[in-house]
Amino acid sequence: MIKKLTQLTFLVMLSAAAFAQTTPPATAPTGQPQQRRRNQPRHYAITIVNNTKVNVDTAQINADFKAVYPGFAAADGYRTKREVTMRIIDTAKKFTLSAVAGEIVVNGRWIKDKKNFAGFQNSLQEALHKNWTSVDTTRKDGYQLVFINKNSAFNPAIRKDLVETFFTVFPVLVSTFNDKTTHEVVFVTDTAYGGVAEASGNRILFSTKYMNAHPTDIDIVTHEGFHLVQGYGYSAGPVWLTEGIADFIRYKYGVDNIGSKWTMPAVTYCQNKRKEI
């Protein structure tokens, strides 16, 4: 029961975040795609390809998709496909449905059953979450951390260290610098991600390849966590300044910079040089 409640809270949280970003309608009254304003996220869209004789209520499928997919995609990663094709196929096999980012496949014989159609939203959610190795929620002192692991080979000891570092450092940064920062954060480990780590909205994405190779570099949480506290949104200032501040915060509040042999870059002559007018 506790686990069920946890998952529900998690989904509500992600769905709310996703919908907050998709306010304008997907199409203009003429049917032409409406132009996206600069810096606005792309919309989520589903295209249903039905080559079977089964009639499905496409409005209901659209509603179910909108209730489930944006939350999944927002948690899954920055590059998770927003345009999804749903193919309804005719197969006598026991197959029901499968769903990965960008592609849903449904057995027409299965979905034409009223009971299955009524439960489509839950079935879709379940199928999408199968793409993740695990989802865990930790709550402490008014803060919540959802940890989505997409790599079964991710070292669990590092995962534990990342969570501990979050609960040690993040509340201090929030109360010291910006108490309007969200208290609900999502960590995602991604095998497809080529960088080290990055933060956006209420989510921090980690490369498992990097973390497995650098298990002591846990103060990435301090640096990336501070990007959430900075919360400059789309109108961020110069990158060097945003990053410089986050590095300084890591230097000052990090829990194990010595263990990870991390230091601030040395001051150079150029940094102190004043421009002559």
Distance of closest approach, residue 254 Cβ to Zn ion, in angstroms: 13
Q: Is 76 helix (H, G, I), strand (E, B) or coil?
A: helix
Backbone phi, psi, residue 27, to 5°: -130, 150
CB closer to Zn ion, 126 vs 243: 243
CB closer to Zn ion, 239 vs 277: 239
56, 72, 78, 168 from 75: Cα distances, Å:
29, 5, 8, 23
User: Do the beta carbons of residue 241 and residue 224 sit within 8 Å?
Assistant: no
CB closer to Zn ion, 221 vs 246: 246
CB closer to Zn ion, 95 vs 248: 248
CB closer to Zn ion, 218 vs 246: 246
Backbone phi, psi, residue 171, to 5°: -60, -35
User: Could you tell me which of 19, 196, 24, 208 has the C-alpha nearest to residue 132?
Assistant: 208
Written as six digits, the tokens of 270 are 């150029």
Distance of closest approach, residue 242 Cβ to Zn ion, in angstroms: 7
Task: Point out which span in 5-13, 123-131, 154-162, 242-250 binds Zn ion (CB under 5 A).
Answer: 242-250
If one asks whether residue 205 binds Zn ion (CB under 5 A), the answer comes out as no
Query: Which long-range contacts (C-beta less than 8 Å, at least 24 apart) are formed by 188-192?
Result: 188/75, 188/76, 188/77, 188/148, 188/150, 189/148, 189/149, 189/150, 189/151, 189/154, 189/159, 190/77, 190/150, 190/151, 191/150, 191/151, 192/77, 192/79
Task: Point out which span in 23-31, 75-83, 185-193, 236-244 binds Zn ion (CB under 5 A).
Answer: 236-244
Strand locations in 213-276 (E): none
Backbone phi, psi, residue 246, to 5°: -65, -35
CB closer to Zn ion, 66 vs 223: 223
Looking at residue 55, its amino acid is N
Distance of closest approach, residue 246 Cβ to Zn ion, in angstroms: 5
Distance of closest approach, residue 202 Cβ to Zn ion, in angstroms: 16
State the greatest distance between any 2 C-alpha atoms of the chain, in Å, as a whole number.
Answer: 80
Looking at residue 106, its amino acid is V
User: Do the beta carbons of residue 197 and residue 207 sit within 8 Å?
Assistant: yes
Task: Point out which span in 11-19, 46-54, 129-137, 246-254 binds Zn ion (CB under 5 A).
Answer: 246-254
Size of the site for Zn ion (CB under 5 A): 2
Distance of closest approach, residue 223 Cβ to Zn ion, in angstroms: 6
> What is the footprint of Zn ion within residues 38-67 (CB under 5 A)?
none
Task: Point out which span in 37-45, 46-54, 174-182, 245-253 binds Zn ion (CB under 5 A).
Answer: 245-253
Distance of closest approach, residue 227 Cβ to Zn ion, in angstroms: 6
If one asks whether residue 246 binds Zn ion (CB under 5 A), the answer comes out as yes
Task: Point out which span in 59-67, 69-77, 203-211, 243-251 binds Zn ion (CB under 5 A).
Answer: 243-251
If one asks whether residue 84 binds Zn ion (CB under 5 A), the answer comes out as no
Q: Summarize as ranges the residues that interact with Zn ion (CB under 5 A).
A: 243, 246
